[in-house]
Amino acid sequence: MSYEEEQELVARAKTDPEAFGELYRRYVKKIYNYHYRHTSSVSDAEDLTSQTFYRALRSLSSYRPTGAPFQAWLFRIAHNLVVNWYRDRKNERLVPLEIGLWAQIAPQVGNPESHLSTAELHKSLVRVIDALPEDRKTLIILKFVEHMSNAEIAAVMGRTEGAIKALYHRTLVSLRATFQQGARAEDV
């Protein structure tokens, strides 16, 4: 669907519930995924997904096209809810990085002759991504799950494109540092 067609659908959704239903069907999986990747909980992801769409429905009359796709606006709502979710749980949620785990993962990345199964490796990587700060995790999800451009991610996170590039670089550096840390732990 082109940008113009989508904007037409959004304009119709302001007065036509069926058009809103179409937008919902188009984005519900993406929004659920985004929340699930952040919360790692089905019930929290469901709750945040519901809140996102109810907010979108109530605010749709004030939506103005800005040149960015509609999903950037929708993800912005989802992002604000996720930020609140983290704020509410900042004392509860502390996932420690497992150095032993990284000692297993680090040599396997990019190595086809890995003794760890792919499923195990992915599971472990997800746990490590879970331990990243909220903004870095958001960036990883939007880039690798939603395949958004830096400009779209910037619109969602309310930052400049340059800031997103810098954040991405820092995220890669920190991931690499964790890999190296893991590799050193294995040597010892």
Partner 1 sequence: MFRRKHHRYLTLQDYVYVPPNERRAIEQAVAAAVHPVEPPPAFVAQLEQDLLEEATRMVEKRNRAPQRVLWILGIMTGGLLPLIGGLLVWVFTNREGRHPPARAVASSA
Contacts with partner 1, residue ranges (CB under 8 A): 15-18, 20-21, 24-25, 28-29, 32-33, 36-37, 42, 45-46, 49-50, 53-54, 57-58, 109-110, 118, 121-123, 125-126, 129, 140-141, 144-145, 169, 172-173, 175-176, 179
Nearer to partner 1, 3 or 15 (CB): 15
The residue assigned the tokens 């992002």 is 79
Give dist(CA 114, CA 108) in Å, integer: 5
Nearer to partner 1, 49 or 71 (CB): 49
**Number of residues written out for the chain:** 188
The per-residue DSSP string of 40-53 comes to --HHHHHHHHHHHH
Side chain identity at residue 75, one-letter code:
F
In whole angstroms, how close is the CB of 64 to partner 1 at the nearest point? Answer: 18
**Structure token pair of residue 184:** 């050193």
In whole angstroms, how close is the CB of 126 to partner 1 at the nearest point? Answer: 5
Nearer to partner 1, 86 or 179 (CB): 179
**Structure token pair of residue 22:** 């179409």
Give dist(CA 134, CA 51) in Å, integer: 19
**Structure token pair of residue 139:** 């960036």
Nearer to partner 1, 89 or 123 (CB): 123
In whole angstroms, how close is the CB of 1 to partner 1 at the nearest point? Answer: 19
In whole angstroms, how close is the CB of 55 to partner 1 at the nearest point? Answer: 11
Give dist(CA 90, CA 116) in Å, integer: 33
In whole angstroms, how close is the CB of 86 to partner 1 at the nearest point? Answer: 18
Nearer to partner 1, 10 or 125 (CB): 125
- Report yes or no: 103 and 182 within 8 Å, Cβ to Cβ: yes
Nearer to partner 1, 3 or 118 (CB): 118
In whole angstroms, how close is the CB of 21 to partner 1 at the nearest point? Answer: 5
Give dist(CA 149, CA 172) in Å, integer: 17
**Structure token pair of residue 96:** 């420690």
